[in-house]
Amino acid sequence: MADSRETFLVNAFVTGWPVKHSRSPLIHGYWLEKFEIAGTYRPEAVTEADFPAFIQALKDGSSGFRGGNVTIPHKELAFRLADRPDDLAEELGASNTLWMENGLLHATNTDGHGFTANLDERHPGWDKIDRAVILGAGGASRAVIQAIRDRGVGEVNVVNRTVSRAEELADRFGDKVHAHPVGALHEVMSGAGLFVNTTSLGMDGSEAPKLDFSVLASGAVVTDIVYVPLKTPLLVQAEEQGFPIVDGLGMLLHQAVPGFEKWFGRRPAVDKTLRDLVIADMGSHG
């Protein structure tokens, strides 16, 4: 006879290609242990070609998973294959969190929640601003733009090397979101209350450009969604220029919360022990 733990075991996954660098198993493993939940959360390396079959097995129950996280390169296909994407996933055209409910595959995107919850935790009141500047218009910046707009920030300015990518996002996210070329960065930073970096600037071996943060509104918050290293070159500069900074690790931790609650039924907290655990892991695995 199977023991009762096995009978009630709830299983969740993180899937991507590759997936072995994901820190999500560490995060969810910490919460499973903390709540003493009989569950598993494990990495599933799935190629793009195999992804539809993986989702089919989730839908028909044969995989044994209740749901999971989806990372690069499957976020768009996960959204398309879901039966019930929510409004956030619908607007982004991408999903990072899936779960089965009443026989249907639901999908959302929790990156925006991760972004805002991190700022709420580390710099409450960050959203009482008129204007924000986002540097970068790649996949990772989309949920950030959506979340800042949804908080009611009046003007969200996206600055990108390839301005057409910023324009595509401005079209997607409506009247409050504006696109600018890099040449306009200094001008759009003037008086802004929030600066967000979503690029890998200064981390690919090249030197980070020197930015004049002093034109931002006084007390403006500078944050980065990149969390390796914890203090990115742009955060170092902003701090040296006297601005409060928020690193991106909290975004990773907070984006995991809604998924855990969907699969395992408890809403976990992001605490210092968890943050330290992930930082220690970054130290040992880069």
Catalytic residue numbers read: 75
Query: What is the C-alpha to C-alpha distance for residues 29 and 102, in angstroms, rounded to an integer?
Result: 26
Token couple for 40? 């598993």
Q: Which residue is nearest to ligand ATR (CB)?
A: 138
Nearest distance from residue 55's CB to ligand ATR, in Å? 22
**Of the residues 108, 118, 160, 255, which one makes contact with ligand ATR according to CB under 6 A:** 160
Nearest distance from residue 200's CB to ligand ATR, in Å? 5
**Of the residues 100, 119, 129, 140, which one makes contact with ligand ATR according to CB under 6 A:** 140
**Residue 133: enclosing H or E segment and its boundaries?**
strand 131-135
Using rule CB under 6 A, residue 73 touches ligand ATR: no
* C-alpha angle 248-39-263 in degrees, rounded to nearest 5: 60
Which of 99-107, 125-133, 157-165, 273-281 is the region at the interface with ligand ATR (rule: CB under 6 A)?
Answer: 157-165
Which of 51-59, 61-69, 197-205, 212-220 is the region at the interface with ligand ATR (rule: CB under 6 A)?
Answer: 197-205
Query: What is the C-alpha to C-alpha distance for residues 140 and 60, in angstroms, rounded to an integer?
Result: 31
Using rule CB under 6 A, residue 162 touches ligand ATR: yes
Phi, psi of 98 (to 5 degrees): -125, 145
Indicate the residue among 161 and 267 with the shorter CB distance to ligand ATR: 161
Nearest distance from residue 226's CB to ligand ATR, in Å? 8
**Of the residues 161, 210, 267, 285, which one makes contact with ligand ATR according to CB under 6 A:** 161
Using rule CB under 6 A, residue 198 touches ligand ATR: yes
Q: Do 69 and 259 contact (CB within 8 A), yes or no?
A: yes
Left (φ > 0), alpha (ψ -120 to 50) or beta: where does 64 sit? left
Using rule CB under 6 A, residue 138 touches ligand ATR: yes
Using rule CB under 6 A, residue 165 touches ligand ATR: yes
Is 240 exposed, middle or buried, given 0-12, 13-18 or 19+ CB atoms closer than 10 A?
A: exposed
Helix (H, G, I), strand (E, B) or coil at 165: helix
Token couple for 46? 């799935």
Helix (H, G, I), strand (E, B) or coil at 222: strand
Nearest distance from residue 52's CB to ligand ATR, in Å? 22
Nearest distance from residue 114's CB to ligand ATR, in Å? 14
Using rule CB under 6 A, residue 200 touches ligand ATR: yes
Q: Nearest-CA neighbor of 137 among 95, 92, 167, 175?
A: 167
Indicate the residue among 40 and 200 with the shorter CB distance to ligand ATR: 200
Query: What is the C-alpha to C-alpha distance for residues 241 and 249, in angstroms, rounded to an integer?
Result: 22
**Of the residues 43, 67, 136, 193, which one makes contact with ligand ATR according to CB under 6 A:** 136
Q: How far is CA 82 from the centre of its chain?
A: 19
**Footprint of ligand ATR (CB under 6 A):** 136-141, 160-162, 165, 198-201
